[in-house]
Structure 1
Amino acid sequence: MGSVPTVVCVREVKQEDVQEWDDSMPLPGDIIEGVAQDNADEDDTFVSAKARSELILLLGKINRVSEHVLLKVRRGDSAVKLRACIVADRNVKMQKKFTVRAASDERHVAVLGDMTFEACFELQEMSRRIVNLDFKGFRTKGIPYDWKLKVGSFLPDHRSTVVGSILFMPRAKERITELLISRAMAWFSAAISSGIPLVFVNIQTEQIISSISFQLFPEPGESRFGMDIKRTEEGFICVYSVTEDSAADRAGLGDLLDQANRTHHLLVISRLQGKSLKPSIVDSEGLIHCCDNADIKETVSSAIEKSESIQIHIMSWPNQTVPAAPSSSAAATLQPPNGK
């Protein structure tokens, strides 16, 4: 029997903080198909290596002229080009050998090895779950909004806001939400302790009904999932009708929509297939950037054509299209939508 073929692969990385991995770094399971000098542009400039020993020699040659290298790696069905740094392999004591590390993080050093395709793909799946390489948000587009009308209609005093806010941006390499929230609360607590009369209202990343995650399964012959959606002026995607005995109805969306209508709420889809559908930003021209309807339709149509299920997350927001007339003390007594 012949030997099992192997490829040069990233067996592991020395950075243990997986929260700081990203898809621009060499990741466990990456199959290294070729290397080239940092200024290479064309695919034919990449030189392949069939074994770890050959790759080490190539890295040594490139290191004579530059500490940076371009890697062409195979991740699943995709070929990805990465910029990396050549570093000495500290696992080897007797002679100088080389490996690579992430260009953006000197701690992220790759351990290379000769591995089977099957072993590489198993590592790739682990890496994919950690950094979610397959996640791509829906395309967005800007929609116009009548800010002047809304400010005049919905603010008790259109000349000033009734609440203040501060935006905390993550620091470099700070990818854990809890760290960002801790910094925000430390700032707020310090301000209160010094005598600043602040009143805490909310820190929010996403208001979601986490216990309600719906999986919609089409039956043979069904050409629709059975829910009709529309976008609000503010850019949210809402369910406004559910077809009886459809996949959406069988999943329980019909009952939830009836309940939302009775309580004058909107049934908002916050995520589709794990991707956010909520408005993401308001630009300097006043356009609200929302997920593209065509992108949503393509995702749903593709799933129904393949007879595959889709997963949606639902959140419920108050439907306050007719604001009450503000009283003279409205600016002091205005409550959040659910507050009474």
Structure 2
Amino acid sequence: MPVDGGAAAVVAIECVAGSSKADEWSGGGEALLQTGDVVEEIRIGNSPAVRSPFKGGRAGVQKLLHAAFKRGDTSIHVRARRGHGNDAAADLQACIVPHPAAGRRQYVLRSLQDPNYAVGFVDRSERDCIAIQGSRSSRVICALSKAQLQDGYVSYPWEKKMRESLSIPRSSCVLSLLVLPKASDPSATRYNSPEDTLTRANAWLNSCQTSGVPIVFMNIQTEALLTKISGETASSTVNMGSLTDLSNLANVSLYGFEDYHGVDIGVVRAVRLWYTPAAGEMAVEIKLQEGDTRLGFAISRTEEGFIYISSVTDDDGTEVAAARSGLRELYKEAARASKLLVISRVGNEKVLPWMVSTSGAIRCFDTVSLSQKLSLHRHALRPILLYVFMWETSPSDLGRGVERYETSAPPPSFAPPPPADELPRNLYFADGSQPALGRDTAGDASFRFHDFSLPNNWV
């Protein structure tokens, strides 16, 4: 069958997928079939060999492959020549596999030695084959022009990694606070600019660090939240008529659009602040005994919403649970470093602030409800597992740090809030009810609180 201006047609090799081995283009790789090699002989299974010229060219070879694959005979041996005459020969032991990308009933040969290496058949003139075979560099360039990077999915042992690679199993030390834009009018139809939201997030972080919360900045980003809008809000925000209006979105915290069903959708541009403990988190297990009448420490909450150990009983001896667990020494070390001993988790539950509402209130955990839970632990004699933020000092240095603290005066720049003499009597929940806290059966309060009031704290 003449092609290319009368030149004799042959069935040639076309490399479909390259080998993963480095010897494909090395000296030892000459035995591998390459694009442009002329097929001389095909032997399928135990059938007699079929030699060139092949009836019907490539189409005839594909019919042979289809018939063999259909009867389950997929083992094939191919011999090809490279260059003029029989200057060089190459052999391939392979299996016949379908090639759906080339069409129905199309097949390629996949090497038995390297499953990543696959070749197909094409009709070419012998002149073209000689040109392709002309030099090693030309074959490399040809292969390079057709090479494609492959991607796929590989399994990963997530459960094992989350259990073994994290300081707190199945819990991330990457934390965040979502700051919603502040409403600029009582009807909450207009909001302050994204710059104002970024500024408030920055002020919150700086205030936390100034007050002694041992956290460091990681990242900050805007976050789009979808909401349904109507009325004045819709009329003032759904006003994008052309691409030129996109420039106006840079300085707004709420913009809207109308979906295909005519519903007005609002996009609130909030800010998410990412932070992490300065030196990770440390677990403190408080084991309780039958004679414990108190835990020996008090908790408070900062204006920014972090709960921390505000005082620890400084009695001599180890009869108090806080002293037995090492919490007292840890608290003293935090005071020596001018840091707050912030509680990040109780058991597996986070007790950190996580959102700022459009009114400016910080959503965080209540010290009263937390004290109730800890008091129930004491009465039930169930151990308490607290996680606290660490600062620059590593846990291995705490022993030496405690000794230094006990032999030197505390830094004058840090003074923990003094404990209250008794539980406050004027605490109320959002529904107006008083918390059911009072003195315990032993006649002493297990916890004492300094609760900073925040407007609209419980939302």
Bin of the TM-score, shorter chain as denominator length: 0.3 to 0.5
Q: Which has the larger radius of gyration?
A: 2
TM-score w.r.t. length of structure 2: 0.26
Q: Which has the higher contact order (CA 8 A, sep 6+)?
A: 1
TM-score w.r.t. length of structure 1: 0.35
